[in-house]
Amino acid sequence: MHFVRQRQPSLVSAGRLRDDFYYRICERLIELPSLRARIVADPRELPLLVRAFAGKRAGPARAEALTEQVLRVLDTPELRDHPWPGNVRELRTCVSNVHTHGRYVPRSRIGAPAGDDGVARAIEGMPPMEEVKRRYAHHAMETTGDLAEAARVLCIDPKTLRRLLDMPAAAPPA
């Protein structure tokens, strides 16, 4: 099975893909619509995908709560008509970011001009980095159930993990 992100006829005409190879890989050509096109065609697609990623990220017990949180974030003016240039991978990253940070800032919004309210709103209220580390440490412990295994998964020393687990939770941002 071969995957090519560019249109093969343009690769053939540019001399970057041999004709015979083109016909071999195009025998069973599958064209997939972009995530944006899928969402426009069927708005139920987005919640289904979010729920699937939330289940993998937060586990079955917390999947519904994370799904609702992600859908609330995606229902903001900045993200309601997001084009999803990263397709399903970007959506998976979005679910992960909302789970960890409570926010999602698309790559297209990072580095936007100063004073851009979308970026300011996205960053506002984000927890400090130490709080993110603490939450991540607790998540790893809940997932693995073992200090040594969690430290191995996180690629940190067990003493560092213990310190993160013992940290008090940060006060919510004002």
For the chain, the domains span 1-31, 35-123, 129-166
CA-angle at 53, arms to 48 and 56, nearest 5°: 130
What does DSSP assign to residue 151?
A: H
Compute the distance between CA of residue 7 and CA of residue 1 in angstroms, rounded to an integer: 16
Tens digit of each residue's pLDDT (9 = 90 or more) over 49-105? 999 999 999 999 999 999 999 999 999 988 888 999 889 999 999 999 999 999 998
Compute the distance between CA of residue 108 and CA of residue 51 in angstroms, rounded to an integer: 24
pTM of the full structure: 0.53
* Residue 135 phi, psi (nearest 5): -65, -40
Number of other residues whose CB lies within 10 A of the CB of residue 86: 16
